[in-house]
Amino acid sequence: MRASRQAARRTSEGEVSEVDQVSFQDLGATVHRGAVPPGLLDELPGLYNSIFSTVDWWETHDHRHFDGACVLDRPRHVVAYSVDGDTIEVLNKVFAIGAAEARRVCLAIFRAVPQARRIHIEVLFPPRELRLPLRVRNVAEHMVIDLPSSVADYDASLGKRTRGNLRNFQNRLRRDHPDTTTEIVVPGAGAAALFDQFLEWKNDWFHARHGQTTFWEDKPEFIGQVKELACRRGEVQVTTISGAPAAIRLLFPVGDSTVSLQGSFDPQYQKYRLGLLASYWAICDAVERGMKQINLLWGTTDYKSHLGATPHAATQLSVFRSNTARLYSLGETRDIVRRQLRERGNRAYWTARSGARRALEHAGLHRGGERR
């Protein structure tokens, strides 16, 4: 192990901040403590192609400051973290790192931050491969499409019924509304109006469909966060019919990957399944731009799987310095069990409700549309 303390540097605010770093030759890792060297976090988009591993996401959504970073040389990784008492929060999310490299990161941080008993980290590999004391906190299944090199190849990968439905809905829409256009725009002066329209359609649809409030209404602070993130790094797919917006989808491309965060559409175009078509057009646009992957996120999986998405598990872990340290956080286990029971009840409710609605639709007693 080799430790070195570097000279003080002047921050953008004019204050002097000492950059403290510790290197561990056996791990091939360097941990920066208290400050992050200038330019280091600029590597994140190119390394991970993930909106969830960008400073923009951390500042607008997570509201997390970074207290340091762990850097691996071979292969290259830059993993930012914040310190909260005896807990280290790894800020990188949905990022490609192997189990061996994640293990090196955890061991290096534990050595560099003596007070840390646990590290919160999200991984895309089976947790057992980490080979460290841990606890699974949560699992989110991102619905991801690995994109081919052409739209023709993408269409060929879809099921016959899906291809037929997409073709029929598009033909019907073009026949009734030949002026339909779709474009990708960078949020500008009109971003607020587009976002307000997006929310109005989303809330109206959810109220009519489920009789419940939406996530956006329950967490109004998220609205401002997404607006700011969209202005920093986002794109908006706007479908226009008769000169007016008819569908809006929020996209966040980073490198050769993009995230389709949310979409909504004018309910008067439900018979064309405009929400489904807008998702399909966003995927085709990503293919044409040379993207390698599009993440449709979690939630309703039916239409996403029809469009070729498969679940990729992102597992949130508590990794412990030792098995003894694991015993100090038994309260975390209680919280996890409570959340799992609550989520299980919610899933059972929505599964039963969706099944009843499908039965009514099949019987011709209720006409529904695309689940969103």
d(CA 41, CA 89): 16
Candidates 133, 139, 49; CA nearest to 97 is 49
Helix (H) / strand (E) containing 154: helix 151-157
Characterize the bridge pairing of strands 257-265 and 293-295.
parallel
Give residue 192's pLDDT. Answer: 77
| 7 three-state secondary structure | strand
Beta bridge partners of 230: none
Determine the residue type at 249: R
Per-residue pLDDT of the chain (372 residues; tens, 9 = 90+): 545 545 344 333 334 345 699 999 999 999 999 889 999 999 999 999 999 999 999 999 888 888 999 999 999 999 999 999 999 999 999 999 999 999 999 999 999 999 999 999 999 999 999 999 999 999 999 999 999 999 999 999 999 999 999 999 999 999 999 999 999 998 876 677 888 899 889 888 777 776 666 667 777 778 888 888 988 999 999 999 999 999 999 999 999 999 999 899 999 999 999 999 999 999 999 999 999 999 999 877 788 999 999 999 999 999 999 988 777 766 665 565 565 555 454 544 445 555 555 555 455 544 444 443
pTM of the model: 0.82
d(CA 30, CA 72): 7
d(CA 156, CA 322): 50
CA atoms within 13 A on the CB side of 293: 21
d(CA 112, CA 68): 10
Ramachandran class of 169: left when φ > 0, alpha when ψ lies in -120 to 50, beta otherwise: alpha
141 near 312, Cβ under 8 Å? yes
**Both tokens assigned to 247:** 């569908």
Going from the N-terminus, what domains does the chain have, and what CATH number goes with each?
2-132 (no CATH), 144-312 (3.40.630.30)
**Both tokens assigned to 245:** 């917006």
Give residue 14's pLDDT. Answer: 35
Give residue 19's pLDDT. Answer: 61
Q: Packing angle between helix 221-233 and helix 191-210, nearest 10 degrees? A: 130
Torsion over CA: 311, 312, 316, 319 (sign): positive
d(CA 275, CA 279): 6
Residue 119 DSSP class: E
Helix (H) / strand (E) containing 109: helix 99-112
Give residue 356's pLDDT. Answer: 55
